[in-house]
Structure 1
């Protein structure tokens, strides 16, 4: 069976079997087309793209930016630049339109910044998006650290407000900050996006946090904490509404967003049915939790409330290994932190951004860990060396170290933008370039507003819209891809390209997107011009 049809049958048709007689009939029809000596088989395959032309896949996963925050006004894209005023006005917690934006609580710039933009300087902003770097206003350049924002599972859903995207200020801890945006046309990655393909309907795979969205890239799932109600993490189980999409507001919470940060009965990291959705720490080092006294130093203290028990659900890495596809998760500064410890502001390694370190299959001492959890080098030096030597595995995931990932609060935009653009420059010169696909995207929106409503998928997402740039010799040039996609689309492409067994989360998300949009979840191929399969 040709690779594309084999993967399509496994990843799509089988996933939808049983949904209706019509779909079962479609599967039967495709089976007939694939039967030996079927006269229409060759003609059918000739019109399909040959995914085998892609031999090296690279996923670069930056941090915490919405599409409108960085790419407002991008040519050909749907952005907030041309919205009428009634489409971006934010509402208060009672549903009324805010007369103005609240101040940025605590100030717009992070602590220790010279000439800071203080809270008082942000008072009385009009109820609309504002340019952080406008020379006539705040004049904060791209190399400045700005205030971090809530980016949490339930708050993201409350901000989206059933697709209206009009409560980002109401359910934030930073007042007006979600409505800030930058003139991204000064970024190097803006120029690269103009050269290749920008996907402007690409959404974060899961609502909320960096932790959950890194897990989503690995397993298309929310990790599970068994017996959490009798565990050290019991106090972290949230109090949510019956729909499971909002926290219960505390009686002493400020009534209006103009009066202060909202309060909840109980926020935390675990859902009422014990799924981990906000930041947890891996059970293995490097971890934000140190080993317990007398414990194996390679492990984290299991008695700490944020230590997540090792996970066992299948990941896309497991599926790649089943097919003997070479792959690795490259972490910037991984070995440096193991050898020398972590430090702020550099490398500011983020432990919860390393999803495979949460899984029992990649525990210390395993061959799988040695093969697949790879050091990216300080400032990405080892990853760049492998690029230049043409020694990348078939599938590479690259996570920049903290100070280079663009996360509000501890990283600036310019440093991460320059780092990723430099990676692209090396990739374009790599011996593997001619058969390469590169996806540059962000884990999640970082609490920053975007005006495009996410499609309905499933309980976990998708969340807000994020940038995604497709770079490849096969990428359409100067193109904006309107296909509805999310982080799960990366898993879908890998599943189709390598005929993997589909993960349950991929099947569920694909079905959910098709039910709400009438089309399957995109698989990145809309950005590509590939040779035809023979």
Structure 2
């Protein structure tokens, strides 16, 4: 790649592509087939947003007629409509490390019904993991795929849950957890479950963990590249008040821990807390944490190192971006009701967030050198018909179940960290950018750490090390066209239904 210098950016950093600003939008819990099983063919029932594919739309690795009508699972995959979003918003699927491996059943992929259980207290359909949406519900994502680039061969780095997917995005390394063993959550020093609470976060309420080692924030800081993690609900609603008694028997009121109490009502009418600790991966590393959720000292300091330590509320992103201070690397995490995570969110609330975000970003003066990546933290327990390539084996007899009760996940080399069986489930991934190839489907094997690797390569940061998956990650450069004269036009969509709008 040829280095490009742009003195008109806020960073003046040398990059190896024309991309000076990367924005990663990171929703939740979606397998590729759950959103793109029948792409580009939608049912187009009356009363639903219509979708018609552009001419010459490339084919993808979706569900064939045989898989739709004669599936090896206990029930066939079935279409969910827009009204079913209200059911998804209250019914979650098990998506932990062992359960997902069991569902994949050594590559037969026939155990999703029975192994992927409902994890809420609601009365939910046990066949739900076999459901999928099409372009009449996830209309925006299908339209972005039509006009920009997407992958049909992108995977979670490991089997398992949300926290692992977040940690892999920023470090490619789920080993190094302290303490080293917590039943169902940590094994052999490796993260295998969603332990909600980070040691370096006031809004943690139960047992906490931390991670050692480096993450991409450390690399960005070393290089002087501006960056931030921006999450809905990170801004405290209030702080606890304590009284500090001094040796001379005087006392003073001290402002204490942050309280993260903001909430929104989701599509099902349930009140959902905005901030989720295990969706904020940098809080698990002391070096990149903002334990007390302190605000940036000024808009100009957003992206730079100050008391906020690069961890922000989502509102801080727009304060910076719309005032000429868009960081070079930004991770955007919606409030929980808009993450798409079943049991709290749904595709329509998720779509509203994604479309509003992209519509606003396309109006920034920095748009011409910006790329947006839409990727997901895990497969959410939803059915997908593709067996991932296993590039990391693990033989923990307690938690590895990919090849049957005694089959483990192969056998890891003696020097390798255990409990990192992967790649895991196939996930949607799209690139929206003036530099993205148009109506393009990338088939190269990539994973969550391919995003990490793009950041490392574009800003010449080096690697994480210590068996991080960034060393093995496939490149996403095939989704871009960096030749002179290429320009993918802006696409403005309706946040309510995902259909096309006229340019403002």
TM-score, normalised to structure 1, is 0.66
Runs of 4+ aligned residues of structure 1 deviating over 6 Å after TM superposition are: none
Which of residues 139, 147, 160 is equivalent to 2:104? 160
**Kept after mapping to 2: 8 A contact 1:67/1:467:** yes
2:144 corresponding residue in structure 1: 192
1:51 corresponding residue in structure 2: 16
Secondary structure in structure 2 of the residue aligned to 1:352: helix
Which of residues 152, 156, 168 is equivalent to 1:204? 156
**Does residue 278 of the first structure (1) align with residue 193 of the second (2)?**
yes
1:421 corresponding residue in structure 2: 355
Superimposed CA distance per residue, residues 472-519 of structure 1 (whole angstroms, 9 cap, x where no aligned partner): 1100111111111110100111111111121226765644xxxxxxxx
1:236-247 equivalence runs, <5 A: 236=183
Secondary structure in structure 2 of the residue aligned to 1:202: strand
**Does residue 371 of the first structure (1) align with residue 323 of the second (2)?**
no
2:436 corresponding residue in structure 1: 475
**Kept after mapping to 2: 8 A contact 1:475/1:528:** yes
How far has the Cα of 1:129 moved from its partner? 0.2
The separation in 2 between residues aligned to 1:415 and 1:81, in whole angstroms, is 25
How far has the Cα of 1:443 moved from its partner? 0.7
Rate the CA distance shift 1:398–1:354 in 2: closer, same or farther, 3 A: same
The separation in 2 between residues aligned to 1:60 and 1:530, in whole angstroms, is 22
Which of residues 82, 92, 115 is equivalent to 1:148? 92
How far has the Cα of 1:284 moved from its partner? 2.4
Secondary structure in structure 1 of the residue aligned to 2:26: strand
Greater share of strand: 2
The separation in 2 between residues aligned to 1:56 and 1:227, in whole angstroms, is 36
Secondary structure in structure 1 of the residue aligned to 2:452: helix
**Kept after mapping to 2: 8 A contact 1:319/1:500:** yes
Rate the CA distance shift 1:353–1:82 in 2: closer, same or farther, 3 A: same
2:123 corresponding residue in structure 1: none
The separation in 1 between residues aligned to 2:179 and 2:63, in whole angstroms, is 48
Which of residues 497, 501, 515 is equivalent to 2:462? 501
**Does residue 173 of the first structure (1) align with residue 117 of the second (2)?**
yes
Superimposed CA distance per residue, residues 334-371 of structure 1 (whole angstroms, 9 cap, x where no aligned partner): 10454562446244321110001111113448956623
The separation in 2 between residues aligned to 1:433 and 1:383, in whole angstroms, is 15
Superimposed CA distance per residue, residues 212-258 of structure 1 (whole angstroms, 9 cap, x where no aligned partner): 111111111114344545xxx4xx1xxxxxxxxxxxxxxxxxxxxxx
How far has the Cα of 1:470 moved from its partner? 0.3
Which of residues 37, 49, 55 is equivalent to 1:72? 37
Secondary structure in structure 2 of the residue aligned to 1:501: coil
Rate the CA distance shift 1:145–1:203 in 2: closer, same or farther, 3 A: same
Q: CA RMSD in A?
A: 2.6
**Does residue 354 of the first structure (1) align with residue 269 of the second (2)?**
no
Gaps of 5+ in 2: 5-14, 41-57, 119-125, 238-257, 265-270, 295-304, 394-419, 485-504
Greater share of helix: 1
Secondary structure in structure 1 of the residue aligned to 2:63: helix
**Kept after mapping to 1: 8 A contact 2:30/2:382:** yes
Gaps of 5+ in 1: 5-49, 92-100, 102-126, 237-267, 290-303, 512-520
Superimposed CA distance per residue, residues 106-129 of structure 1 (whole angstroms, 9 cap, x where no aligned partner): xxxxxxxxxxxxxxxxxxxxx210
The separation in 1 between residues aligned to 2:160 and 2:25, in whole angstroms, is 19
1:323-472 equivalence runs, <5 A: 323-337=223-237, 338=258, 341-343=261-263, 345-363=271-289, 364=291, 370-377=308-315, 382-459=316-393, 460=420, 461-472=422-433
1:312 corresponding residue in structure 2: 212
The separation in 2 between residues aligned to 1:423 and 1:413, in whole angstroms, is 15
How far has the Cα of 1:146 moved from its partner? 4.3
The separation in 2 between residues aligned to 1:415 and 1:85, in whole angstroms, is 29
**Kept after mapping to 1: 8 A contact 2:68/2:76:** no
The separation in 1 between residues aligned to 2:16 and 2:231, in whole angstroms, is 27
TM-score, normalised to structure 2, is 0.70
Rate the CA distance shift 1:286–1:398 in 2: closer, same or farther, 3 A: farther
**Does residue 81 of the first structure (1) align with residue 73 of the second (2)?**
no
Secondary structure in structure 1 of the residue aligned to 2:17: helix
**Kept after mapping to 1: 8 A contact 2:171/2:468:** no
**Kept after mapping to 2: 8 A contact 1:152/1:209:** yes
**Kept after mapping to 1: 8 A contact 2:156/2:165:** yes
